Amino acid sequence: MKKSTTTIVSCVIILLFVSIVFVSGTSTYAQNQASNSDLSSQRQNIITKTVAKCSPAVVGIHVSEIIQYRNYWNPFVVYNQPVKGLGSGSLISPDGYILTNDHVAGNSYEAVVTLTDGKQYTAKVIGSDQTSDICLLKIDAKNLPYIKFGDSDDIMAGEWAIAFGNPFGLFDINDKPSVTVGVVSATRMNIGPSDNRYYINMIQTDAAINQGNSGGPLVNAVGELIGMNTLIFTAGSAGNVGVGFAIPANKIQKVVQELKTKGKVDRDFWTGLHILTIDENIAKRYKLASSRGCIITEFDKNSPAVKSGLQLEDIIIGIDNYRINDQDILIGILTEYRTGDVVNYKIIRDGKEQTVKMKLEKR
């Protein structure tokens, strides 16, 4: 009897021990699972969520265009050379409108667009504007993911900036865009012209932009399209050095609407102004505080400039909210306007600042 009681007690003790071990193990497993869940949750942030949200609306673009060149020995003989290129784009509506750069697809005779689901479409060029470097494509598809425009006038230096695109054609590997993250470094950057394209009011970012990123979207932390990746500053380097530029969204929306309705941007106005960039000698002669600006040297007869009341030797230092550094910037700023707009010229005349209004008349 004692032996039987001892055996029962021993069995109870063993069962209690096993139960404790099991409960302890279960608790540890649950704690590990909870810890892993917490870690996974911590990895998710506003950037990763925005990337997941916007990536399906990014596309890779392959273009074919014809480059003409003349025979060196006989300039009357012209050759057509087919050239292929690549770039990026973003879907901006569910019915297949795609935003990219003019220098990516504006001169193409064929543009093949690849979506993140692997489907490919031949895109139609709805319109392209070389001056602003904006091109609008269209594919025949519906219910597509797209990126909504944000307000580029509301962005701040220092806020997150996420650049998407197809650098070096890497989109082709798995039909997914590459993503780089940085901040908005500066706004309202006016850059000199290149190939008859004027880059005014640009967004500067340190999010890495490389060859093939052109035309891709630059979005803010909540996934709004604030700009289109367009230029990089290389400083002699072959790759990114932390200075990239994007065309601001508000300018893009204006141009896109014109391309949709007219197929082009109409800048058929004139000023009749002849100007010269201020140099140190001119600045010294007119006792100017700096050598920024332009001096009026001549007028065309019956021109808007004459009607405005501007005078010879007026020093132009600004147009509306834009500051004028030189002749190229002044010309570039005027491309932001349209026929019929009234432009406020900020000038220095007889050592005093004043404002003169000019209506841009049809040429």
pLDDT in tens, 54-67: 999 999 999 997 77
Position 144 in a domain: no
> Which of 154-158, 235-239, 272-276, 305-309 shows the lowest mean pLDDT across its residues?
235-239
Q: Which of 3-12, 73-82, 339-348 has the highest mean pLDDT?
A: 339-348
Position 328 in a domain: yes
Whether residues 156 and 180 share a domain: the answer is: yes
CA atoms of 214 and 163, how far apart (whole Å): 10
Whether residues 283 and 238 share a domain: the answer is: no
> Region 260-288: what's the mean pLDDT?
95
User: Alpha helices of 86-233 — where are they, by DSSP H?
Assistant: 102-105, 171-174
Please say which residue of 262, 283, 313 terminates a domain. 262
- The pTM for the full model equals 0.84
Question: At 50, which helix (H) or strand (E)?
Answer: helix 46-54
Quick one: residue 287, left, alpha or beta (phi over 0 = left, psi -120 to 50 = alpha)? left
Give the pLDDT score at 31: 61
**Helix/strand/coil (H/E/C) assignment for every residue in 238-249:** CCCCCCEEEEEH
Residue scoring higher pLDDT (180 or 38): 180
Position 74 in a domain: yes
The answer to whether the beta carbons of residues 88 and 100 sit under 8 Å apart is: yes
Whether residues 176 and 244 share a domain: the answer is: yes
> Which of 66-80, 245-259, 278-292, 317-331 shows the lowest mean pLDDT across its residues?
66-80
DSSP secondary structure code for residue 92 in this structure: -
> Please, which pLDDT band fits residue 210 given cuts at 50, 70 and 90?
confident
Please say which residue of 138, 160, 194 terminates a domain. 138
Please say which residue of 90, 115, 138 terminates a domain. 138
> Region 238-266: what's the mean pLDDT?
90
Burial degree of 115 (CB within 10 A; 0-12, 13-18, 19+): buried
How far is the first Cα of the chain from the last one, in angstroms, to the nearest whole number? 120
> Which of 81-85, 133-137, 216-220, 222-226 shows the lowest mean pLDDT across its residues?
81-85
| Residues whose CB is less than 8 angstroms from the CB of residue 344 and which lie 6 or more positions away in sequence, other chains included | 319, 320, 355, 356, 357
Whether residues 226 and 295 share a domain: the answer is: no
Give the pLDDT score at 12: 47
- Whether residue 319 is predicted with pLDDT greater than 80 in this model: the reply is yes
Position 2 in a domain: no
Beta bridge partners of 149: 225
CA atoms of 263 and 168, how far apart (whole Å): 30
Cα–Cα distances (Å) from 173 to 123, 126, 170, 177, in that order, read: 21, 28, 6, 10
> Please, which pLDDT band fits residue 70 given cuts at 50, 70 and 90?
confident
Beta bridge partners of 134: 129
Percent of the chain at pLDDT > 90 equals 72
- Domain range for residue 306? 269-362
For the record, the structure tokens of 170 come out as 């890497």
Q: Which of 90, 152, 214, 308 is catalytic?
A: 214
> Please, which pLDDT band fits residue 21 given cuts at 50, 70 and 90?
very low
The answer to whether the beta carbons of residues 165 and 216 sit under 8 Å apart is: yes
Mean per-residue pLDDT of the chain? 88
Whether residues 129 and 197 share a domain: the answer is: no
Percent of the chain at pLDDT > 70 equals 83
For residues 231-268, b (16+ Cβ closer than 10 Å) or e, as one string? bbeeeeeeebeebbbbbbbbbbbebbebbeeeeebebe
Residue scoring higher pLDDT (191 or 99): 99
CA atoms of 328 and 334, how far apart (whole Å): 10
Quick check: is 103 catalytic? Answer: yes
CA atoms of 242 and 255, how far apart (whole Å): 28
> Which of 116-130, 210-224, 229-243 shows the lowest mean pLDDT across its residues?
229-243
Q: Which of 103, 129, 132, 152 is catalytic?
A: 103
> Please, which pLDDT band fits residue 334 given cuts at 50, 70 and 90?
very high
CA atoms of 177 and 88, how far apart (whole Å): 9
| Residues whose CB is less than 8 angstroms from the CB of residue 323 and which lie 6 or more positions away in sequence, other chains included | 190, 292, 317
Give the pLDDT score at 145: 98
Quick check: is 62 catalytic? Answer: no
- Whether residue 160 is predicted with pLDDT greater than 80 in this model: the reply is yes
Total of domains in the chain? 3
Beta bridge partners of 272: none
Please write down the long-range contacts of 177-182, taking CB distance under 8 Å and 24 or more positions apart: 177/55, 177/58, 177/60, 177/88, 177/116, 177/216, 178/213, 179/51, 179/55, 180/207, 180/208, 180/209, 181/47, 181/207, 182/206, 182/207, 182/208, 182/242
Position 346 in a domain: yes
Quick check: is 194 catalytic? Answer: no
- Whether residue 307 is predicted with pLDDT greater than 70 in this model: the reply is yes
The answer to whether the beta carbons of residues 164 and 53 sit under 8 Å apart is: no
- Whether residue 127 is predicted with pLDDT greater than 80 in this model: the reply is yes
> Region 180-209: what's the mean pLDDT?
94
Whether residues 229 and 162 share a domain: the answer is: yes
> Region 324-345: what's the mean pLDDT?
96
Residue scoring higher pLDDT (12 or 27): 27
- Gyration radius of the chain's alpha carbons: 30
* Of 252, 268, 363, 354, the residue nearest 311 (C-alpha): 354
Whether residues 164 and 224 share a domain: the answer is: yes
Whether residues 213 and 230 share a domain: the answer is: yes
Looking at residue 235, which CATH number applies to its domain?
A: 2.40.10.10
Q: Which of 62, 90, 132, 133 is catalytic?
A: 133
